[in-house]
Amino acid sequence: MREAVPSSIDVPYGADQTLLVVIDRISSTREIRIERADLDQTIGEFIAGCFSDPVRVISFNTLEHWIKDISAEVAVEIQSRCDIEGNDLPDHLRDFVESHVCASPCASTGLHATLPGRIAER
């Protein structure tokens, strides 16, 4: 299943790895792409405020050569973690979560069910 993603992201060939690219807006006219290898750690970085203004999260696999926008699943997982911990959604994530959570096909199941094996159990 191919999803709409920025056409300027090329999926490299290589060892079997699933990688993430966080697109972070640093000004009204500039975005940067930050590569990450661990989804669980990346979600923790979202909650900790390590990204300025996250816009999208793209996942890709270097061997199978697929690419997918997983922003909605990440937004649902962020909201779920905040709910479980009894915390309000941090202000710095409100726009990201609100813009993606309504588009999520997995709103009732969460990221662990839609991307099995990609996040280690805590």
What are 100-111's pLDDT values in tens digits? 987 555 444 444
What ranges do the domains of the chain cover?
Answer: 18-114
pLDDT at residue 32 above 70?
Answer: yes
Confidence at residue 10, expressed as pLDDT on a 0 to 100 scale: 56
Confidence at 28, pLDDT banded by 50, 70, 90 = confident
Residue 3 pLDDT > 60: no
* Whole-number Å distance between alpha carbons of 91 and 86: 15
Residue-level pLDDT at 38: 92
Instruction: Say which residues have a Cβ less than 8 Å from residue 81's Cβ, sequence separation at least 6.
Output: 43, 47
**Residue 112: what pLDDT?**
43
Residue 70's nearest CA partner among 94, 12, 78 is: 78
pLDDT digits (tens, 9 = 90+) for 58-93: 999 888 888 999 999 999 999 999 999 999 999 999
With a pLDDT cut of 70, the percent of the chain lying above it is 71
C-beta of residue 98 within 8 angstroms of C-beta of residue 50: no
